[in-house]
Amino acid sequence: MKAYKTLQALSPTELKARLLESRKEMLKLRTQAITGTSGKSIGQLQKAKKNAARILSLLSKSEALA
């Protein structure tokens, strides 16, 4: 809930920037999971996916209100 509240305070342009960062992080974590370089990457990947979903939800909500 805390992450969602902090994301709600951001503007749509900031949310889009965060979404781009999150997607880059997911790509990096996927490659680490495939190559097996980091054992923690699966959990971090799930967190990054949830964060991206939160951002997309807020973006679609703000577009629906506009």
pLDDT digits (tens, 9 = 90+) for 5-28: 899 999 999 999 999 999 999 999
- Cα dihedral sign, 56-6-24-30: negative
CB atoms within 10 A of CB 33: 16
Assign 4 a pLDDT band (cuts: 50, 70, 90): confident
Q: pTM, whole model, 2 decimals?
A: 0.84
Domain locations along the chain? 12-65
pLDDT digits (tens, 9 = 90+) for 22-63: 999 999 999 988 888 877 778 899 999 999 999 999 999 988
